[in-house]
Structure 1
Amino acid sequence: MEDKLEIAKEILKKYNQEHLLHFYDELSKDEKNRLLDQILTINFEKILTVYKQSLNFRYDPNVKVSPIPHIEKDKLSFKEIEHYSKIGEAIIKSNQFAVVTMAGGQGTRLGYKGPKGTYMLNLKPVKKSLFQIMAENIMDNNKKYNVILPWYIMTSEENDAPTKAFFEINNFFEYPKEKIKFFKQNKLPIINIEGKLILQEPYLIKEASNGNGNVFKSMKNNGIIDDLENQNIKWVSFGGIDNVLLKNFDPLFLGLTISNNLSIGSKSIFKKEPLEKTAVYCLKNDKPAILDYDCIDLELSESKISSTNTYLFREANILSHIMSLDAIKKSTTIDLYYHRAFKKNSFVNEEGVKQVPDKPNTFKFENFIFDAFALFDGMLLLRVDENEEFAPIKDFTGIYNPDTAIEKYNNYYKI
């Protein structure tokens, strides 16, 4: 342990983080080991570089922002839907399709302690967890297409064990156990406004999952990509656990993407309010991208093609994507941009007292899946009906809360 301590001290001195050992002498042997092991595994160079770069970030005025072409599902003819759906169905029926569910979050914003996927919705006639809703959705499609497709679930360090236990307790919701694989996303330390890492406990540095964009490298590092290759999977759908109307299987969406010779596809909904705090799809320097809501003024949001009365920047991201396996592999080859969020985080102060701030005090850094889209020359963007495909549960009181999700779910399934 003495060797580890000396190495840890050298690392912390190099990066001006010596405060992390402030309580070391008061810790038990196990706690000392836990803290030292954590220090030795953290990439201080990376996190502090990300932090410093974020302080100097400025939007590049030379980036050319333009509208991204999209297809409106409601405007497709019956023959078109039938044609493209058959193409997608052929991939699904030949067992070349898989599902990835991103479920690394906690239910904190819902006032719930535990993995978000274990949150129970008061549906009729019985309560169901988000995981059960997702499992039933996938199983219904398995039955429809006479397949049992692999289901991969991305967890986090914080919720991996309770998520797995929840599946065990619920007998994997009758889904074939061998067809479900869990994999953990990575995490990064939380940093305060002074550039210091913070302590969650005297023996524990506070870390958080580093966003859904980490899914690609996590898939690679956990052998998921190898597993996909071994099963001859060609296409994968990606979605979040909190959308109870998510269509994991959509042969039309898949067929349209394939027919347009594209390797990635995303779904959007129409952004009703021009200044709603929602990011929209666009092209940046002719590459698929997301335009953050704080970059959208009223003039841009209201801009139209006069001949068709079509808005140019109103395609809102709903975290529903498909990618070819080759596209996923390509996305593992680069380091995605880290987005900075200013958040409230409790911490242990110099007196060893847990402090709970009443306003944001720390920075969290995340990758987002859409930043990988810039690697590709184009993408298929399909606008869908919000009432048919988007009923997320973001927090307990906002516009996307459990009650609104239940209402949409009941209306869609005519419960």
Structure 2
Amino acid sequence: MASEQDVRARLQRAGQEHLLRFCAELAPGPRAALLAELEPLEPEALREHCQRAAAACAGPPGPPPDLAERLQPLPPERVGSVSRSDPETRRLWEEEGFHQIALNKVAVLLLAGGQGTRLGVTYPKGMYQVGLPSQKTLYQLQAERIRRVEQLAGERHGTHCTVPWYIMTSEFTLGPTATFFKEHDFFHLDPDNVVMFEQRMLPAVAFDGRAILERKDKVAMAPDGNGGLYCALADHQILEDMGRRGVEFVHVYCVDNILARLADPAFIGFCVLQGADCGAKVVEKAYPEEPVGVVCQVDGVPQVVEYSEISPEVASLRGPDGVLLYNAGNICNHFFTRSFLQVVTREFEPLLKPHVAVKKVPYVDEEGNLVKPLKPNGIKMEKFVFDVFQFAENFVAFEVPREEEFAPLKNADSADRDNPTMARRALLTQHYRWARQAGACFVDACGARLPELLRVHTPEQILTSGPALSLSGSEEPPAVCEISPLVSYSGEGLEVYLQGREFQSPLILDENGVRELQS
């Protein structure tokens, strides 16, 4: 371990010697911890990081003035759609996806390095329970979807197959996540097929270009964004591990989407049959101002343009069919070939430009007092996973129904969207819909039949009822019906349990059969 003198000299070269200003008054343990945290920071890289953060924050906000002229929707031939395709086409996609899974060529990769600050919890988001009757966490739901898709592929092809689960964590989430998985016996997955690795951390920077000291003995560090994936893949030899397992296709997704279909055979199959090296799932934007990034082209190159960069006029443009011209909402759900990821980590990662996030970062003042700022005071620099789309030789998008595949959990229930209540409703509404399609009937306490789901579809209905009604989880389902992923991955195989039967809410269908709970 480097001495205090060595670390001080390195910080001087970086212009960040202030990080040691309380070193002399620290006890041996905290002093050693601080030096250990500072030692890996390369002086030149640290200086450049801090200068770039301050310059980016001081730069002109907003999109390039000519962006509207450079925008184009994705070419129709590069976009697949579940709702606009015929059953035979969808069957072919699924067949190809299951085939690749059965050959052990598919892995899933979870982005789980965020701190969950907006959700208001101190533990990883994947450990969160949204209030399901089963009390399952996001991690458990995802593990069970992996087990089910392995089972379905194995049954179709008469083989035993494995979908490895790679989980990118951070300094904040690695320890708790690893402990949680061990405590729950890896949700009955083989621990050898669950690979956790850590993304890099970067110092938060004040507006004057100085790295922020969070405590006398600790620098304020933050994960380098979900685009830190590419450095982390190289740091931990993850692509080499995939190669040893024979993995060729990787499905990358975010931890906070309760409806995420892991190793989705239709998505995998579509991308493989298209010969894509990179793909993105998208949902149709609910309304022009919806705050989601748009997958489109800029100067003919695929990329995600943030909603804040598109003017209201451009966001409202519609095609001849009445559909929004820029309607492909990004949901952080991506397909990559392993060979594409190899090229990205080897050649393109240094070309990714960090994005600026201005945050409220606790710090110690010159007297050593802890300050919790009331307004943003610091800059966190992060890269985005989708910034590699521009390097793809064959990029495709795959549009899926929002109500089936996208209900993000980002905020506490005090927020008006993307909160635990909406995530729970979205999943239970999906399961109610599946149960009704399988022939189940639900009745209330008096025996009266409960209705089908009412859905808001048209722009006119949305304008009349309010845009929020078009979002997953905006309304409670008529009955509470939870279906275990171990029983059904996407609504298949439920008739044997439910067809022609009458149930009262609440209801759980799991591997032990149907259970009507006490309401």
- What amino acid sits opposite 1:322 in the alignment? F
1:328-375 superposed Cα distances (whole Å, 9 cap, x missing partner): 112213222100011111111111111011111110111101101111
Structure 1 distance, partners of 2:116, 2:97, is 34
Structure 2 distance, partners of 1:254, 1:46, is 39
Structure 2 distance, partners of 1:201, 1:171, is 36
1:22-52 superposed Cα distances (whole Å, 9 cap, x missing partner): 1111011222222222222123134124314
1:62-97 superposed Cα distances (whole Å, 9 cap, x missing partner): 662211133321010011111222222211111100
Alignment partner of 1:245 out of 245, 254, 259: 259
- What amino acid sits opposite 2:143 in the alignment? A
Does the alignment pair 1:408 with 2:426? yes
Structure 2 distance, partners of 1:366, 1:230, is 30
Contact 1:287 1:377 in 2 (8 A): no
User: Which residue of the partner structure matches residue 123 of structure 1?
Assistant: 132
User: Which residue of the partner structure matches residue 376 of structure 1?
Assistant: 392
User: Which residue of the partner structure matches residue 35 of structure 1?
Assistant: 34
The 3-state SS of whatever aligns with 2:335 is strand
User: Which residue of the partner structure matches residue 392 of structure 1?
Assistant: 408
Contact 2:105 2:248 in 1 (8 A): yes
Calculate the aligned-residue CA RMSD, in Å. 1.7
Does the alignment pair 1:169 with 2:175? no
- What amino acid sits opposite 2:429 in the alignment? N
User: Which residue of the partner structure matches residue 336 of structure 2?
Assistant: 323
Structure 1 distance, partners of 2:355, 2:135, is 36
User: Which residue of the partner structure matches residue 90 of structure 1?
Assistant: 99
User: Which residue of the partner structure matches residue 106 of structure 1?
Assistant: 115
The 3-state SS of whatever aligns with 1:105 is coil
Structure 2 distance, partners of 1:211, 1:152, is 17
Contact 2:167 2:195 in 1 (8 A): yes
Structure 2 distance, partners of 1:228, 1:176, is 16
Does the alignment pair 1:197 with 2:211? yes
Alignment partner of 1:67 out of 60, 65, 73: 73
1:356-411 superposed Cα distances (whole Å, 9 cap, x missing partner): 11111110111101101111144111111111001111011330001100001111
Alignment partner of 1:358 out of 364, 374, 378: 374
User: Which residue of the partner structure matches residue 148 of structure 2?
Assistant: 140
Structure 2 distance, partners of 1:312, 1:66, is 9
| TM-score, scaled relative to structure 2 | 0.76
Structure 1 distance, partners of 2:88, 2:169, is 40
The 3-state SS of whatever aligns with 1:305 is coil
Superposed displacement of residue 282, structure 1: 1.1
Superposed displacement of residue 60, structure 1: 4.5
The 3-state SS of whatever aligns with 1:74 is coil
- What amino acid sits opposite 2:338 in the alignment? L
Structure 1 distance, partners of 2:398, 2:409, is 22
Alignment partner of 1:159 out of 163, 168, 173: 173
User: Which residue of the partner structure matches residue 276 of structure 2?
Assistant: 262
Structure 1 distance, partners of 2:152, 2:275, is 26
Aligned pairs (5 A) from 1:1-12 = 4-12=3-11
Contact 1:256 1:380 in 2 (8 A): no
Instruction: Return 5+ residue gaps in structure 2 as ranges.
Output: 155-160, 433-480, 482-519
User: Which residue of the partner structure matches residue 514 of structure 2?
Assistant: none
Superposed displacement of residue 313, structure 1: 0.8
Identify which of structures 1 and 2 has the higher relative contact order when contacts are C-alpha pairs closer than 8 Å and 6+ apart.
1
- What amino acid sits opposite 2:398 in the alignment? L
- What amino acid sits opposite 1:278 in the alignment? V
Superposed displacement of residue 236, structure 1: 0.6
- What amino acid sits opposite 1:400 in the alignment? D
Structure 2 distance, partners of 1:127, 1:155, is 23
Structure 1 distance, partners of 2:146, 2:38, is 41
Structure 2 distance, partners of 1:41, 1:360, is 27
Alignment partner of 1:79 out of 88, 100, 113: 88
After TM superposition, where is structure 1 displaced by more than 6 Å over at least 4 residues in a row?
Answer: none
1:123-150 superposed Cα distances (whole Å, 9 cap, x missing partner): 11x2111111111111111111122211
Contact 1:185 1:215 in 2 (8 A): yes
Moved more, 263-272 or 8-17: 8-17
Structure 2 distance, partners of 1:85, 1:154, is 27
Contact 2:101 2:162 in 1 (8 A): no
User: Which residue of the partner structure matches residue 322 of structure 2?
Assistant: 309
1:100-128 superposed Cα distances (whole Å, 9 cap, x missing partner): 0111122322221211111122111x211
Superposed displacement of residue 61, structure 1: 4.8
| TM-score, scaled relative to structure 1 | 0.95
Instruction: Return 5+ residue gaps in structure 1 as ranges.
Output: none
Contact 1:264 1:322 in 2 (8 A): yes
Contact 1:275 1:297 in 2 (8 A): no
Structure 2 distance, partners of 1:48, 1:107, is 25
Contact 2:51 2:209 in 1 (8 A): no
Superposed displacement of residue 225, structure 1: 0.5
